[in-house]
């Protein structure tokens, strides 16, 4: 089938690269505006499209999408595939492909609808999650379910590691559905709306560590907000929590990013940290220098 791909961020690239490596016919790409940075480099949706000579449209809003309608129609797509796009797709766009548009959502819908399913799964310390292939409709993750697969959540999983499992699995599910239903006659089941849970978009303030909670809660927060927006605290809070020796420098109120850590004997200890404006260093080096 001739696939029109909608995707914007790093998670989108996991799906797009999987499609291309499995010889899927991606004939056009619609990508949004990247927001923020990640603690690692990656090839963007735009770069992947350019490398593979795939026509691409850049949009920043629903209005931009509507204004791009004629171009998207000119691609004569058979089906649309959405993976972490970040822009609400109006009906006049998602109905352009002959068989409509499907979406990869990294949860077992109707659980964890909305923009942050993987983060919330880890924050809630769930031991299982999954991926859903669903039909796009006018709601937010409310469309008919076409396929689902359950996956375990490890105690060490971050949002990044979870995405690196779920997006390739979900993309293979999409490919399998195209193979089983070449005429778009997918088996669809409506969601049970009464069972739905909703996630919200997080902010940097959500990622601030509260130290007077359990080690498990702190670990979950650190893992949920990796690779973005990254868990953080202040140097003064670290001094208060981990040291009684006083302060060795004048950076007491600077923000400190906690990249990862471990839980031992019901205590959370950072493993790699990053003082505002500095490079990432291991906890032992940081502690010797600042605490």
| Each residue's pLDDT tens digit, 34-74 | 777 899 999 999 999 999 999 999 999 999 999 999 999 99
Among 112, 81, 109, smallest CA distance to 97 is for: 81
Q: Is it true that the peptide bond before 110 is cis, omega within 30 degrees of 0?
A: yes
Q: Is it true that the peptide bond before 227 is cis, omega within 30 degrees of 0?
A: yes
Extents of the domains making up the chain = 2-195, 205-290
Joined together, the tokens standing for residue 288 give: 């010797």
- Identify the three-state secondary structure at position 63: helix
Mean pLDDT of 183-206: 97
Supply the pLDDT for residue 246.
61
Q: Is it true that the peptide bond before 229 is cis, omega within 30 degrees of 0?
A: yes
Domain 205-290 has CATH 3.10.25.10: yes
Supply the pLDDT for residue 129.
99
Among 138, 180, 157, 146, smallest CA distance to 1 is for: 180
Long-range contacts of 246-249 (CB under 8 A, 24+ apart): 248/289, 248/290, 248/291, 249/290
Is 2 exposed, middle or buried (CB count within 10 Å of its CB: 0-12, 13-18, 19+)?
A: middle
Joined together, the tokens standing for residue 291 give: 């605490």
Residue 251, pLDDT above cutoff 70: no
For Cα atoms 213, 219, 222, give the angle at the middle one, nearest 5 degrees.
Answer: 110
Distances (CA, A) of 219 to 12, 119, 216, 282, 287: 26, 12, 5, 17, 19
Residue 270, pLDDT above cutoff 80: yes
Supply the pLDDT for residue 105.
99
Q: CA-CA distance, 119 to 191, in Å (whole number)?
A: 22
Q: Residue 32: which H helix or E strand, with range?
A: none
Supply the pLDDT for residue 247.
59
Supply the pLDDT for residue 248.
57
What one-character-per-residue DSSP string does 232-248 give?
Answer: EEEHHHHHHHH-SS--S
Per-residue pLDDT band at 33 (split at 50, 70, 90) = confident
- % of the chain at pLDDT higher than 70: 98
Q: Is the CA virtual torsion 89, 92, 135, 139 positive or negative? A: positive
CB atoms within 10 A of CB 151: 17
Domain formed by 2-195, architecture: 3-Layer(aba) Sandwich (3.40)
| Each residue's pLDDT tens digit, 171-187 | 999 999 999 999 999 99
Supply the pLDDT for residue 291.
82
Largest CA distance in the chain: 70
| Each residue's pLDDT tens digit, 132-175 | 999 999 999 999 999 999 999 999 999 999 999 999 999 999 99
pTM reported for the whole predicted model:
0.95
Joined together, the tokens standing for residue 102 give: 């499907």
What one-character-per-residue DSSP string does 93-151 give?
Answer: HHT-STT-EEEEESS-TTTTBSS-HHHHHHHTT-SEEEEEEEE--SSSS-SPEEEEEEE
């Amino acid at each position: 089938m001739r696939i029109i791909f909608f995707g914007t961020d790093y998670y989108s690239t996991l799906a797009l690269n999987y499609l291309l490596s499995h010889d899927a016919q991606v004939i056009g790409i619609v990508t949004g505006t990247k927001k923020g940075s990640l603690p690692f480099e990656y090839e963007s949706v735009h770069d992947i499209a350019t490398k593979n000579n795939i026509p691409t449209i850049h949009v920043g809003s629903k209005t931009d999408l509507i204004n791009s309608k004629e171009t998207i129609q000119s691609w004569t797509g058979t089906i649309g595939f959405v993976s972490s796009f970040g822009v609400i797709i109006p009906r006049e766009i998602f109905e352009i492909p002959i068989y409509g548009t499907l979406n990869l959502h990294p949860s077992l819908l109707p659980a964890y609808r909305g923009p942050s399913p993987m983060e919330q799964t880890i924050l809630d310390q769930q031991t299982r999650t999954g991926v859903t292939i669903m039909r796009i409709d006018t709601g937010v993750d409310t469309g008919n379910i076409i396929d689902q697969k359950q996956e375990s959540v490890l105690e060490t999983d971050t949002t990044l590691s979870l995405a690196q499992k779920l997006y390739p699995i979900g993309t293979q599910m999409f490919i399998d559905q195209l193979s089983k239903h070449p005429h778009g006659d997918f088996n669809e089941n409506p969601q049970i709306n009464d069972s739905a849970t909703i996630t919200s978009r997080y902010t940097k303030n959500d990622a601030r560590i509260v130290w007077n909670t359990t080690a498990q809660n702190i670990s979950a927060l650190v893992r949920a907000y990796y690779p973005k927006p990254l868990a953080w605290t202040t140097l003064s809070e670290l001094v208060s929590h981990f040291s009684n020796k006083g302060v060795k420098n004048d950076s007491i109120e600077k923000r400190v990013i906690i990249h990862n850590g471990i839980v031992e004997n019901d205590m959370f200890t950072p493993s790699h940290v990053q003082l505002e404006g500095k490079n990432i260093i291991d906890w032992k080096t940081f502690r010797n220098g600042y605490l």
